[in-house]
Chain A
Amino acid sequence: GESVGLHLPTLSVQEGDNSIINCAYSNSASDYFIWYKQESGKGPQFIIDIRSNMDKRQGQRVTVLLNKTVKHLSLQIAATQPGDSAVYFCAENSGGGADGLTFGKGTHLIIQP
């Protein structure tokens, strides 16, 4: 079936550098995408979302880019900090209403001092 996936299971970056986490999706009907961060021992926490009628959205130190042509989603984290260490998931909602989200496998972001 169609699914959301990520390119890398682990990403290691130097503290202070920018991080880019990628996600590929296959459901062209998806109209909403969301990034979650999950720290050890906690549930997923919302970071940022984007609708399909946009190609870029910025938050505090984070930017989400959406390329519908190649069905690609990315999360950019500026000036990565130790507190950014976590597993990052992209997810999509293509059904509308109270449908659950379809998640990718996650990328573990490791911050090197």
Chain B
Amino acid sequence: ETGVTQTPRHLVMGMTNKKSLKCEQHLGHNAMYWYKQSAKKPLELMFVYSLEERVENNSVPSRFSPECPNSSHLFLHLHTLQPEDSALYLCASSQVADYSYEQYFGPGTRLTVT
């Protein structure tokens, strides 16, 4: 295991539902990330939190709302999603330092929007 856990592992939701994905890292890292992985496409960076402050938002639709209450926890709140949002959502963490960019990934949440 990488020290990054994600719940739930699988989620099926309707387009009008509201749900949240949870990520927790047990590595003492100071940065956390959300990525989206769709079939046959590269991993897409969605959000970056460094020292609990959001530092990047790659033009992600507002129906995705991140929250980072502390350095160990990261949430992704979902509402009124579209079928094309179905994907594997990966959380990662890293220790931001000079010459250290390795990110540790969780197992992902497989999201299906119906």
Contacts and interface: CB of A to CB of B under 8 A. Distances in A.
B96 to A, nearest CB: 5
Nearest to A36: B105
A96 to B, nearest CB: 8
Given A97-B50, A100-B33, A105-B41, A32 B107 contact: no
A89 B90 CA distance: 14
Interface residues of A, number: 26
B102 interface: yes
B102 A49 contact: yes
Nearest to A93: B101
Interface string B91-112: 0101010010111111110000
A98 interface: yes
A59 interface: no
A33 to B, nearest CB: 9
B48 interface: yes
A32 B101 contact: yes
Given A98-B94, A98-B96, A103 B56 contact: no
B101 A44 contact: no
Contacts, number: 65
Given A45-B2, A45-B105, A98-B55, A103 B42 contact: yes
Contacts of B102: 34, 46, 49
Nearest to A101: B103
B48 A43 contact: no
Interface string A87-107: 001010100011111111110
Interface of A: 3-4, 32, 34, 36, 41-46, 49, 51, 89, 91, 93, 97-106
9 A-B pairs with the lowest CB-CB distances in the bound complex, closest first: A43-B105, A98-B50, A100-B45, A103-B43, A98-B31, A93-B101, A103-B42, A98-B96, A44-B105
26 contacts: A3-B42, A32-B101, A34-B102, A42-B108, A43-B2, A43-B4, A43-B106, A44-B43, A44-B90, A45-B105, A46-B103, A46-B104, A49-B101, A51-B99, A93-B101, A98-B49, A98-B55, A100-B33, A100-B35, A100-B56, A100-B103, A101-B43, A101-B45, A103-B42, A104-B42, A105-B42
